[in-house]
Amino acid sequence: MAVLVGKKAPQFNAQAVINGGEFVTHFSLDQFIGKKHVVLFFYPKDFTFVCPTELHAFQAKLTEFEARNTALVAVSTDTEQSHYGWLQMDKNQGGIKGITYPLIADTNKTISTNYDVLAGETYYDENDMLQADGELIAYRGLFLIDKAGIVRHQIVNDLPLGRNVDEVLRMVDALQFVEENGEVCPANWNKGKSGIQATHEGVAEFLEKHVN
């Protein structure tokens, strides 16, 4: 699994559905460079089970991400038509009606490959026929990208393991705190808590005050 932290986020131009039902032909992260932080998260499949719980959980916190000037962008290997169909289904039917942030269609699986979150592998057999080992769908990868387009945080969950949206918000807060204050964030840091001066003295003072 590639570690992208500290590197430029792989760019793409792809089909997407935005605002709960509008098709876009060339969606790119370039629009956020110099303007917004981005939380780019991958999910395995439309019309499944854990995925709608995550998508709705992110939607429920969308205003909190927006208050932090942070864009939410979701990606799966389904088509844009599949995204659109799922967006028309009510929540009580397992649908994602009401989701307004962009859903990217990584139909050719290049985005998932470039972010190294594609489950399954392809190979050629003894008859030179292309085969696949496992489903070619995305793991639950998540990437926090700063305004310069650099990945600052990433996590990758296996397919059955849903993510904690509050933890994603905490990481956005931590990154923005570091950027604004020039201090570092200790273990279990939350918004409103003190940071640490990145010196031996600063660490010693923090440990003395906060760690028994």
Q: What pLDDT, in 10s, does the model give residues 163-201?
A: 999 999 999 999 999 999 999 999 999 999 989 988 888
Span of 36-40, 46-50, 121-125, 165-169 with lowest mean pLDDT: 121-125
89-110: per-residue pLDDT in tens? Answer: 999 999 999 999 999 999 999 9
Q: Output the pLDDT for position 84.
A: 98
Residue 212 lies in a domain: no
| pLDDT bucket at 207, cuts 50 / 70 / 90 | confident
Residue 174 lies in a domain: no
Residue 50 lies in a domain: yes
- CATH number of the domain to which 131 belongs: 3.40.30.10
Across the range 44-63, mean pLDDT stands at 97
Average pLDDT, the chain: 95
78-88: per-residue pLDDT in tens? Answer: 999 999 999 99
pTM of the entire structure? 0.94
Residue 88 lies in a domain: yes
Query: Which residues fall within 8 angstroms of residue 59, CB to CB, at 6 or more apart?
Result: 98, 99, 100, 101
Q: Output the pLDDT for position 1.
A: 65
Query: Which residues fall within 8 angstroms of residue 42, CB to CB, at 6 or more apart?
Result: 74, 75, 76, 106, 112, 115, 117, 138, 139, 140, 141, 142
User: Is 23 in a helix, a strand, or coil?
Assistant: strand
Share of the chain above pLDDT 70, in %: 99
> What domain range is 63 assigned to?
14-161
Q: End-to-end CA distance of the chain: give it in Å, rounded.
A: 37
Span of 2-16, 50-64, 116-130 with lowest mean pLDDT: 116-130
Residue 171 lies in a domain: no
- Which helix (DSSP H) or strand (DSSP E) does residue 152 occupy? strand 151-157
Residue 2 lies in a domain: no
- pLDDT tops 70 at residue 212: no
**Number of domains into which the chain is organized:** 1
Catalytic residue numbers, as ranges: 51
CB 150 within 8 A of CB 6: yes
Residue 86 lies in a domain: yes
Across the range 104-131, mean pLDDT stands at 94
Residue 5 lies in a domain: no
Query: Which residue type is seen at 134?
Result: G
